[in-house]
Amino acid sequence: MNIDYGQLIPNNVDLASDRTLQRALERWQPEFLGWWKDTGPVKSNDLQVYLRTAVSVDRDGWANFGYVKMPDYRWGIFLNPNDPERKIHFGDHKGEPAWQEVPGEYRSTLRRIIVTQGDTEPASVEQQRLLGKTAPSLYDMRNLFQVNVEEGRHLWAMVYLLQRYFGRDGREEAEYLLQRRSGDTNNPRILGAFNEQTRHWIAFFMFAFFTDRDGKFQLSSLAESGFDPLARTCRFMLTEEAHHMFVGESGVARAIQRTCELMAEHKISDPRDARKLGVVDLPTLQKFVNFHFSVTLDLFGSEISSNAATYYTTGLKGRYEEAKKADDHELKNDTYPVPQIENGQIVVKDVPALTALNCRLRDDYIKEIQGGLDRWNRIPEKLGIPFRFKLPHVGFHRAIGSFAGHHVSPDGEVMTESEWNSHRAEWMPNEEDHAYIDSLMGQVIEPGKFANWIAPPARGINSQPIDFEYVRFN
Ligand SMILES: [Fe+2]
Ligand SMILES: [Fe+2]
């Protein structure tokens, strides 16, 4: 098979002159397409979707819009431009030139970091594969597919690193990335949240708001890495990630908007009664906030972690916005406050800052998430509805870290397992909630029309009108 690399795989890594990498990609590309056809969006292969495709990393090149059949999408390989002067700016190697090749002593750790990041990308495509069938509008269907093809491109980005820098075992890992499946009992995806089902559009929007934002924070700290190709790859991925979080935040906001509008119009005071109007009531949305927030916090790992300390001191993974933090970027003498449970009480303890880096990244994440909730809360406020969304306590419903095995209420009260379980259905989406939301979902394909449960967006994509034909069916 002959591939015109400049054309079919847009790239800025000079693929045409790298024979080994070409051969590896030649083998991998058909397998990727096989994976896409198997586990990508169902019944989507013939749809013409108004997609954004990156063809270069400059301002004009990264956002080219046009109709594309998704299997023909040009999944490219893009790294932010090289800065030959770049230095490692934290940890034990601070001040040394950034690595252009993998340092031997960190090889297996780096490979693990890249594989773990890479594994989340195809996982979310698998989780979302059925959603096109219940898209509430063409605009939303297009956004879903945009997220899906870009997660596919993020997989390419990680596979590029594995194949280019890790030789044979990198190539093997690239194959395994196409073999694991979200939710599979024998061969699941690596991280828990990526094996959860994305059952309907509320789950999808919440996932894109909460979990894609975890992606942003992980990518941001890898964008600081001393391993320069990883840093540059992640920088470019972040430009695409912003759209995924927009889809999530605005999607939830539009559901809130619609519910509040109808509540105001019908003078409904008990938010639970909103279901009579065929919309998602605000207390149910709060349950989804509780669920998605808590499972996403688990993705940050244990609050206290010697691995996190090692990643930092060895220069592999920095902090969020490392360069903007005003300290010595070594953290050997610093401490950081970490909440934990002691004798049935939540206490905050100062621990060595290096071991608390997961907790710190999580705290940075929570700040941004809180900003999103504040924006959501302006909607009921404007419409005179007294309901407000609230993040649950960090210890609520946790499976990883110092709260795992404990039972903490959304308000931060430590309780017994049976007490906690007796409240579970108030705090987390239960089967009845899911079934109710399922009952609202149905595909709307008339341009400019939206399902009853969601408000139209404020504006269209790429300055197109809201009633633009974002997906064509022939
Ligand atoms: Fe991604
Ligand atoms: Fe994403």
Q: Which residues lie at CB < 5 A from ion ligand 2?
A: 212, 244
Report CA(242)–ligand 2 centroid distance (Å): 8
Neighbours of ion ligand 1 (CB under 5 A): 121, 151, 154
pLDDT at 104 over 70: yes
Q: Quick one: how far is CA 331 from the chain centroid? A: 28
DSSP string across 186-213: SS--SSGGGGS---SHHHHHHIIIIIHH
Chain-wide mean pLDDT for the chain? 94
CA of 295 to the centre of ligand 1 (A): 17
Which tens digits make up the pLDDT trace of 316-350?
A: 999 999 999 999 999 999 999 999 999 999 999 99
- Burial of 1 per CB tally in 10 Å (0-12, 13-18, 19+): exposed
CA of 157 to the centre of ligand 2 (A): 13
The answer, as to whether pTM is greater than 0.75, is yes
Q: Give me the pLDDT at residue 151, please.
A: 96
Local structure of residue 347 (DSSP, 8 states): E
Nearest CA-CA partner of 390 in 415, 347, 427, 429 = 427
Q: Give dist(CA 25, CA 164) in Å, integer.
A: 10
Per residue in 403-457, pLDDT tens?
Answer: 999 999 999 999 999 999 999 999 999 999 999 999 999 999 999 999 999 999 9
CA dist., res. 277 & res. 453, Å (int) = 9
**Distance from C-alpha of 222 to C-alpha of 212, rounded to nearest angstrom:** 15
Q: How many angstroms does the Cα of residue 462 sit away from the middle of ligand 2?
A: 19
Instruction: Tell me which DSSP letter residue 267 carries.
Output: T
The CA 253 to ligand 2 mean position distance, Å, reads: 18
Tell me how far the alpha carbon of residue 265 lies from the centroid of ligand 1, in angstroms.
39
